[in-house]
Amino acid sequence: MPDLGSELSRLRDAHLYRSRRVLNGPQGPRPVIDGRRRLAFCSNDYLGLANHPDVVAALKRGADAYGAGSGAAHLVSGHSAAHQALEEELADFVGRPRALLFSTGYMANLGVLSALAGHGDQVIEDRLNHASLLDGALLSRARLRRYPHTDMRALTRMLEDGQARIVATDGVFSMDGDLAPLPDLARAARDAGAWLMVDDAHGLGVLGREGRGSTDHFGLDPARVPILVGTLGKAFGTFGAFVAGSEELIETLIQRARSYIYTTAPPPALAEATRMSLAIARRESWRREHLTELIRRFRSAAAGLGLALTASSTPIQPLVAGSAARALAWSRTLEQAGILVPAIRPPTVPEGSARLRISFSAAHTEQDLARLLDALAALGEREAA
């Protein structure tokens, strides 16, 4: 039998072992974790909607109306009126004819890529894409080719043979916070006769008009980005994912996406909660405005402290440490000050680029930001000593 214990010991020795924490209460900027209240800068709840009272109330009403579970797959008897309404509202939100709900973003990406590509095709992806995009291409049995991060010259060379079926990219890269060069990608994919697929998990709700995401931020219409994937557990504060596109795309996924066909539909109550969070996100522009101001102030102050941030204008603000050991040490020092920013280490990020992934929420205050900056300043002084 394989010696699993030795492999776990190796991970510990390499500072790559991961441990879970227990959240004692609702999500928010000051959660109680492992019995201790902390100031957290690590959630993807970018708009502060995960514990919004109206969203919670909608979830309760949904449970009263539909019960706790959906009971079956969408194609059997699990597709409720709540699911249908949410799909229609999401399609309207992103300006596309149809949207299709999936249980998770991982399942959405696996479903799309395995349904649309296969043996003999090529799927070309950014090297720093989310694992679900990479795994989806592998599951499809197409040839997966990866170009260096945002390197359009390398991508163009890969497209020259005309074999690419899909060019897939994150809209906002989850560990770096930077945006994909979507206009250039759209042009290159169109010229090569390939579909452009954008996973906008970290852009929707945050970027563009009403938070319509990175494609809206760049002014790209559905013809230039025919496949759009979004998640609901980040800026919208609930759970699940969707794919939006043409009538033909959605009907194809209903017929062929295995991760849609062969799984139980999400609880309808979650769909009701998401309908409420989507409505709040669209009408309360102050959330994005406050978030943008927090990010601007943080980056300005961080520059004054000499912190080596990556080039990100999104809520994801990585502070690169280099080694996993150093990133862990930084995280532990901040935690001693009552601030939670977990270390991100390989294989989540490339070797030598372990980091603190600082993420902001509209629920953070100016006082929260000041406390974080004071702790980072102290961390810098400790490093210099």
Would you name the residues annotated as active-site residues?
Answer: 174, 202, 234
Beta bridge partners of 309: 319
3-state secondary structure of 38: coil
CA distance 287 to 298: 17
Closest CA to 290 of 319, 309, 315: 315
Angle at 10 between CA 6 and CA 15, to 5 degrees: 150
**Residues 194, 167 contacting (CB under 8 angstroms):** yes
Dihedral sign computed on CA atoms, order 323, 329, 333, 334? positive
Classify residue 296 by burial, with Cβ atoms within 10 Å: 0-12, 13-18, 19+. Answer: exposed
Q: How far apart are CA 312 and CA 335, in angstroms?
A: 24
The amino acid present at 331, given as its one-letter code, is: S
Distances (CA, A) of 28 to 43, 57, 363: 8, 17, 7
Which residue bears the tokens 């006082």? 367
| Among 222, 112, 126, residue whose Cα is nearest residue 178 | 126
Q: Which two tokens stand for residue 240?
A: 């699940």
